[in-house]
Structure 1
Amino acid sequence: MKEEEKLLKPVDSIIKQLKHLLSSGQLNPGDRLLSERKLAERFGVSRTHVREAIKKLEFYGILKTLPQSGTFVAGLEISALEGLMTDAMQVESYDFYSLAESRVILETSIVRLACQRRTEEDLILIEDRIDAYDEKIKQGVQATEEDLSFHRQIAEASKNPVLRSMMLIIAPDIMTSYRKYKPCSDSGKRSVASIEHRLLLEYIRNKDEAAAVNMMEQHLRGVMEYARTLSVSEKMWASASGIA
């Protein structure tokens, strides 16, 4: 892998390599992609990252997955596809506050729809994600992935593919920021989060939209307050350093 690609996030590295395949004529509009497994082997990444890259490109209309048929490149001009792929690559680094703010806007809408549209199967899957989170907490280790998996499952229950895709797009950046800043590293906060997860499930089960939205706002309030504090600190540091 080239040195410049090492600096890219795995998902963006995959998109950049797919863009190169288009530019070089190895991949053309209308072509079917290799399977996730083969793409992962070719690019030297995990299948999870391949799946996230495909979801992101689907959101931008670059790829389309057809049941029983596979994933295809959109039938657009090469120049248009390349431009869209450049837009899809998050080369810039989003600040933590913007990510936290976007997450609140997205998830309050998502949980409202989940209350309206959830199925019994959705409730079972959401509870499974809560159990997985709680198990990690009992072990005394970080449960960032399990926490986001819980929230993604609520997005699935909303039955809105656009909101679900938007969650998938920002999820890698959220995980990177959480690992860097550790806003929920305190064991007390993790215990409160676990209780709030259960309450969110009950409100979704009871289709209580108002309570679910209020709980989601409360659930994410601590992260927002931490992000706001962090943003102010970074601006003060930049000002003192003569950067801003």
Structure 2
Amino acid sequence: MSSGQPKVYIEVIKQINNIINDDQLGSGDKLPSERELSDRLDVGRSSVREALRALELLDLIETRRGEGTYIKPFGSYRLVEILLSFLLKDENARKDLTETRRIIELEALKLACDRITEEYIEKLYQLLVQAKEEWAHGDLPVEEDYLFHRTIVEACDNRLLLNLWVSLVEYNKVAIERSLKREGRMSLALIEHENIYLALKKRDCKQAMLAMSRHLENSRF
């Protein structure tokens, strides 16, 4: 498949969006079944399934066992088309993905400076401790690194930002490991995480933003 040719299930997402509009479906309404969508769109059920999985990942629909698939209380369906056209294309999307992650993560951090709870502060501290222990034993703390960043985005208390961030990072999670494997990078990353944590603990937004900007720049995702 050429880079200019969209993947089938991205087209299916667009068509599902059209069905939602045509059938005037809203929050809490049930979507047609996989079989019905497959028939109406004249595509395979596997492509429909992939499209629904992508919509569910973005928290726009939910599947209830034995009942069907329902639209969640949320509105911006065009967002799905825009986001996935970047995430699920070829490697030329990497630069856009990196820039978008940076924007989302810095904005989430800005919100987290005001909204972060002591529970999240403690979770960040524990992740720092775990990461240092892993590294001391010669293991690369990739999961702790991922969770440190995710916890900050969770702490901003904005569900859409979290869903966008997860979509971006899950797609490119291997880049975290690749970044941390660079010579000398892991030790520096731990120091940078600690600086971010300390600034958040003090609710020092300016220092936190500076520390995160430096960290993301050095990480080269």
The TM-score with structure 2 as length reference comes to 0.64
Q: Distance in 1 between matches of 2:68 and 2:209?
A: 35
Q: Which of 202, 207, 216 is equivalent to 1:206?
A: 202
Identity of aligned residues (%): 22
Give the aligned partner of residue 55 of structure 1. 57
Using CA pairs under 8 Å that are at least 6 residues apart, name the structure with larger relative contact order, 1 or 2: 1
Q: Which of 132, 153, 156 is equivalent to 1:155?
A: 153
Q: 1:55 to 1:91 in 2, by over 3 A?
A: closer
Give the aligned partner of residue 93 of structure 1. 90
Q: Which of 193, 213, 217 is equivalent to 1:217?
A: 213
SS of 2:129's equivalent in the other structure is helix
Q: 1:23 to 1:64 in 2, by over 3 A?
A: closer
Matched-pair contact (CA < 8 Å) for 1:52–1:168: no
Q: Distance in 2 between matches of 1:134 and 1:201?
A: 14
Superimposed CA distance per residue, residues 123-175 of structure 1 (whole angstroms, 9 cap, x where no aligned partner): 01111222222222222233222211100000111111111111111121221
Q: Structure 1 unaligned segments of length 5 or more: list them.
A: 1-11, 28-42, 44-50, 76-80, 228-244
Superimposed CA distance per residue, residues 27-69 of structure 1 (whole angstroms, 9 cap, x where no aligned partner): 9xxxxxxxxxxxxxxx9xxxxxxx997332x1xx2x1489xxx
- Are 1:193 and 2:175 an aligned pair? no
Give the aligned partner of residue 143 of structure 2. 145
Residues 1-244 of structure 1 correspond to what in structure 2 (within 5 A)?
A: 22-25=33-36, 54-56=56-58, 58=59, 61=60, 63-64=61-62, 72-74=69-71, 88=84, 90-94=87-91, 95-179=93-177, 182-224=178-220
Q: Distance in 2 between matches of 1:163 and 1:127?
A: 22
Q: How many residues align?
A: 174
Code of the residue aligned with 1:55 in structure 2: it is: L
Superimposed CA distance per residue, residues 54-104 of structure 1 (whole angstroms, 9 cap, x where no aligned partner): 332x1xx2x1489xxx995218xxxxx9xx689758542354332222221
SS of 1:128's equivalent in the other structure is helix
Q: Distance in 2 between matches of 1:133 and 1:111?
A: 21
Superimposed CA distance per residue, residues 186-228 of structure 1 (whole angstroms, 9 cap, x where no aligned partner): 352111111111111111111111100000000011234xx6x
Q: Distance in 2 between matches of 1:164 and 1:25?
A: 32
Code of the residue aligned with 2:35 in structure 1: it is: S
RMSD, matched Cα? 3.7
Give the aligned partner of residue 22 of structure 2. none
Q: 1:87 to 1:167 in 2, by over 3 A?
A: closer
Code of the residue aligned with 1:93 in structure 2: it is: D
